[in-house]
């Protein structure tokens, strides 16, 4: 099974592989959440929800329910 954004741990980096575009808001795509872009989990609220991300230089927070629809591949931070 492929990792989703919800599997990311604090401080980890990843590359976005795919987004289920009909399940996540267009707004998120427009803010840069598109395949190929890099993502870092900056901070999590208690119970890991919401999640505070740095997607390609955009700092934003989304809920876990949205994060599970974004497929990623973890990468080591250079």
Partner 1 sequence: MSKQINVALIGNPNTGKTSVFNALTGLNQKVGNYPGITVEKKEGICKLPRGLKAHIIDLPGTYSLNASSLDENVVIELLLNKNDKDFPDIAVVVTDVENLKRNLLLFTQIKDLEIPTILVINMADRMSRKGISLNIAYLETYLKTKIALTSTRKKEGIDNLKELISNYKEISTQPCLDTTTIDQNYFDSLKKAFPNQLLYKLWLVITQDVNFGKTDRKEIDAVNHFKTKSKTDLKRLQQKETIKRYQFINNVLKKGQTIDLSQAKDLRIKLDRIITHKVWGYLIFGSILLLIFQAIYDWSEVPMDFIDGIFASLSEWTKNNLPKGAFTNLIAEGIIPGLGGIVIFIPQIAFLFLFIAVLEESGYMSRVVFLMDRVMRRFGLSGKSIVPLISGTACAIPAVMATRNIENWKERLITILVTPFTTCSARLPVYLIIISLVIPKGRFLGLSYQALTLMLLYIIGFVTAVFSAYVLNKVLKIKSRTFFVIEMPNYKLPLLKNVALTVVEKTKSFVFGAGKIILAISIILWFLASYGPGENFNNADDIIRTEFATNNLSETDLQNKIASYKLEHSFIGITGRAIEPVIRPLGYDWKIGIAIISSFAAREVFVGTLATIYSVGNDDEATIKNRMAAEVNPILGGPLFTFASGISLLLFYAFAMQCMSTLAIVKKETNSWKWPTLQLILMTVFAYIVALIAFQFLK
Does residue 26 bind partner 1 (CB under 8 A)? yes
Distance CA 56, CA 73 (A): 15
**Nearest approach, Cβ of residue 15 and partner 1 (Å):** 16
Asked if residue 25 binds partner 1 (CB under 8 A), the reply is yes
3-class DSSP assignment, residue 51: strand
CB atoms within 10 A of CB 13: 16
Task: Using the structure block, give the residue that is written with the tokens 């230089």.
Answer: 57
**Interacting positions 35-54 with partner 1 (CB under 8 A):** 42-43, 45-47, 49-50, 52, 54
Cα separation, 8 vs 25, whole angstroms: 20
Pick the stretch among 1-9, 25-33, 70-78 that binds partner 1 (CB under 8 A): 25-33
Binding stretches for partner 1 (CB under 8 A): 21-22, 24-32, 34, 42-43, 45-47, 49-50, 52, 54, 56-63, 66
């Amino acid at each position: 099974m492929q990792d989703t954004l919800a599997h990311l741990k604090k401080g980890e980096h990843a590359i976005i592989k795919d987004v289920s575009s009909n399940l996540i808001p267009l707004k998120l795509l427009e803010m840069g959440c598109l395949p190929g872009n890099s993502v870092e989990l900056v901070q999590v609220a208690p119970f890991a929800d919401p999640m505070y991300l740095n997607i390609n230089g955009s700092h934003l927070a989304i809920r876990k329910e949205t994060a599970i629809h974004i497929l990623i591949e973890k990468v080591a931070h250079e």
